[in-house]
Amino acid sequence: MQTHELVSLSGAVAVVTGGGRGIGQAIVTRLAAMEATVILTGRDEARVQQVARDLEARGHRAEGIGCDVTNLASVEALGDRLRKSYGRVDILVNNAGIGGPSGLLHELAPADWDAIFHTNLRGVYYMLRSVVPLMIATGAGHIINISSLAGKNPLPRAAYSASKWALNGLSYGVAEELRAQNIRVSVICPGSVDTGFSPRRGDKDTQKMLKPDDVAHAVVMLVTQEPQSFISEVLLRPTQKP
Ligand SMILES: NC(=O)c1ccc[n+]([C@@H]2O[C@H](COP(=O)([O-])OP(=O)(O)OC[C@H]3O[C@@H](n4cnc5c(N)ncnc54)[C@H](OP(=O)(O)O)[C@@H]3O)[C@@H](O)[C@H]2O)c1
């Protein structure tokens, strides 16, 4: 049952980082189907532009913009472009993320540590820096950070896990900072999702894993709440353990 799609997001501008594949692409597809104008970003500019063209060919409004969330200049350029082209951002989904190499923390190269934290945590801060002023100017907004159950439970892959624990902490704090401005900051913590991301995918029954669209469904649920309601966190598990 997908009754949320009866609600139109027409007129709303949604930005999804890492929107060219995996969970991000599923979120983009759902929001576009609900008539939002969707801006999808990623390092692979050709890929996000192709996904946007495919959506436009199906009658949706979409634009793909190359942007590396670890690069401050790249994120600031995105913010300028959003302000000039659209003048507003109603929904920001911070989805871009990396897992880093598998292995034990004491064997992790410092450059991999940096890449994980720069993408999963600092990248979100950069995006908030660029987009929150636009939301404050329009007096409302939804910010949805895609975290992980690895940010709620003790799990190996300590650096990735720590980056998501930190992302949860950042999300709770920013939510308190922005509540008074009618900006709702939520976090979605999925378990294993059947994308190219999951390192343990080969050990799991992919039929039982969450699908990217399950995360998109949770995003739709958050952005279709009544104005007085604020679901701050969603823990998303597969019905049966994969
Ligand atoms: N799959 C799972 O089991 C699972 C479970 C829980 C949470 N998550 C979280 O869900 C999010 C999406 O994961 P996924 O499964 O869809 O992974 P994915 O298929 O590997 O996609 C990752 C996305 O992030 C983008 N990205 C990575 N680094 C980036 C950067 N520096 N700048 C901009 N974009 C960047 C990628 O685009 P480009 O390569 O074009 O930059 C890609 O679109 C991540 O935050 C992940 O931690 C995943």
Q: Which of 40, 93, 95 to mutate to test the pocket of ligand 1 (most atoms within 8 A of CB)?
A: 95
Nearest ligand 1 atom to the CA of 209 is: 3
Q: How far is CA 120 from CA 62, 223, 229, in A?
A: 24, 22, 27
Residues of the chain with pLDDT below 70 are 1-5, 199-202
Crossing angle (nearest 10°) for helices 158-178 and 123-138: 20
What pLDDT shows up at residue 190? 98
CA 88 to chain centre: 18
Residue 160 annotated among the catalytic residues of the structure: yes
Predicted pLDDT at 1: 43
User: Which burial class, exposed, middle or buried, applies to 192 when counting CB atoms under 10 A from its CB (0-12, 13-18, 19+)?
Assistant: buried
> Would you say 195 and 22 are in contact if contact means Cβ atoms under 8 Å apart?
yes
- The CA distance from 191 to 204, in Å, is 12
Pocket mutation for ligand 1, best pick of 160, 193, 236 (most atoms within 8 Å of C-beta): 193
- Please check whether residue 37 is in contact with residue 14, taking contact to mean a CB–CB distance below 8 angstroms: yes
Q: Is the CB of 96 under 6 A from ligand 1?
A: yes
Res 72: pLDDT:
98
Whether the model clears a pTM of 0.85, i.e. scores above it, the answer is: yes
Task: Report residue 179: phi and psi, to 5°.
Answer: -55, -45
- pLDDT of 132: 98
In the chain, the domains with their CATH numbers are 3-236 (3.40.50.720)
Q: Distance (Å, rounded) from C-alpha 139 to C-alpha 220? A: 20
Region of 18 (left: φ > 0; alpha: ψ -120 to 50; beta: rest) is: left
* 161 Cβ contact partners less than 8 Å away, ≥ 6 residues apart: 148, 150, 151, 154, 155
pLDDT digits (tens, 9 = 90+) for 97-127: 999 999 999 999 999 999 999 999 999 999 9
Whole-angstrom Cα distance, residue 12 to residue 36? 5
Give the pLDDT of residue 199.
61
